[in-house]
Amino acid sequence: MSSNLINAPVRAMLVLGTRPEAIKLAPVARAMAASELFEPLVVTTGQHREMLHQMLDLLQVRERTELDVMRERQELSTLTARLVDGLGEIIRAQRPDLVIVQGDTTTALTGALAAFYEHVPVAHVEAGLRTGVLDNPFPEELNRRLIGRVARWHFAPTARAAAHLVGEGIAASEVFTTGNTVIDNLLWVLEKGGGRSHFGSTGLRRVLLTLHRRENQGDTMRGMGRAIRRLADRGDVEILLPLHKSPAVRDALLPELTGHPRVRVVEPLGCLDFSATLAACDLVLTDSGGIQEEAPSLGKPALVLRTTTERPEAVEAGAARLVGTMPDVILAAVERLLDDRAEYDRMAGAGNPFGDGRATERIIAQLAEDFGADADAAPVEARLPEGPGSYSTA
């Protein structure tokens, strides 16, 4: 990038389409909107359309352009083709200076690919996560690896993620360990307040459940639903399930869980309400990636209902446990935490390995420096030296 001071704001196109992307890019969008150095252009793909618009309003993110590409139960190949085509048109029309994508969704992959085709540099937020298994999670593991070959800036949430990238041949000068923006947003939401917990006033132990992964859908997810019903039969727990909009998820879980007096199935929660609900729970059962990062910040033990995780830092810290997808194993793991107070306290007190709430500062500072902005415009403490591991969350 030029070493000259910029004379006009850097046009930064932030491409997002899912709830997690909105949560994790919102701090970046807000910071850019408040800065004279950047002009954020927020493009939504509608991958989670029904959950997205209200969330962006709550997170104080102004949408610029929306694609209309979603079709019920469409194949990944169809969605990918539609997104690359639509995003390419938007990039040509708006001519951004860079495109920012987050994580590992189809939206992130196609945003990076469309930008590459238009010769626009790509910044990848939450870069470097790996399970080492190409099809698990599916298709996210492949997506994040492909984005890694396209991106110019790799903003890794942890030193381990940064090391993955350098090990794959990414230049160390293009890899920056920043912490995870999900922590930035969680702290902003909790400070803002206004959300409400959706647990009842029952006096029971509160278990928050989220399930949606493609590789878990079908018989595996139905088995999980049966395990959750058996858990509810204990009589001393209240289970809350904000149900994903995916028809495949609903087909698997609703027949197993509907009608149980201690299982509450609700529609997806807004960001403020979800954070308040997470803060009010005793225990989290999830196959989500982002919740593995948020729960330790609030001292909530997380049991990960997957066979792999690209976030082993939480497991190694003791804040999360990878329990797999077998119903009997899931039930035994939950009951161990519910019945063993010392084990519960160890997990609850393990701490958060994913950052200090200043990832956004570091991302903005690095982009400002590389686009030739005045060094005084970025906080000195947030500036990064080149190379991986410049900020360790371990």
Phi first, then psi: give them for residue 227, nearest 5 degrees.
Answer: -65, -40
Q: How far apart are CA 177 and CA 212, in angstroms?
A: 28
What Rg do the C-alpha atoms of the chain give, in angstroms?
21
Is 140 one of the catalytic residues?
Answer: yes
Strands in the chain per DSSP E? 10-16, 38-44, 65-66, 98-102, 122-125, 153-156, 175-177, 205-210, 237-242, 263-266, 283-286, 302-304, 320-322
Determine contact, residues 314/353, Cβ cutoff 8 Å: yes
Q: Which residue has the tokens 């994903």?
A: 244
Q: Which candidate in 11, 64, 205, 214 is catalytic?
A: 214
Residue corresponding to tokens 């994580």 = 103
Polymer length in residues for the chain: 394
Residue 21 CB contacts under 8 Å (≥ 6 apart), including other chains:
102, 103, 105, 107, 108
256 an active-site residue? no
DSSP state of 334: H
Q: Which of 21, 140, 174, 282 is catalytic?
A: 140
Q: Do residues 281 and 240 lie in contact, with contact meaning Cβ atoms separated by under 8 Å?
A: yes
Whether 316 sits among the annotated catalytic residues: the reply is no
Options 126, 215, 256, 273, the catalytic residue? 126
**Of 172, 170, 120, 181, residue with least CA distance to 148:** 170
φ, ψ of residue 382 to 5 degrees: the values are: -90, -10
- Among candidate residues 124, 154, 212, 362, the one labeled active-site is 212
Instruction: Judge whether 72 counts as a catalytic residue.
Output: no
* Nearest Cα residue to 291 out of 209, 194, 391, 184: 209
Is 63 tagged catalytic?
no
SS3 content of the chain, % helix, strand, coil (to 5): 45, 15, 40
Residue of 244, 306, 358, 362 marked catalytic: 244
Site of tokens 């991302």: 363
Angle between helices 49-58 and 19-33 (to 10 degrees): 30
383 is a catalytic site residue: no
Decide: helix, strand or coil at residue 279.
helix
> Which residue of the set 104, 141, 273, 287 is catalytic?
104
Active site residues: 104, 126, 140, 212, 214, 244
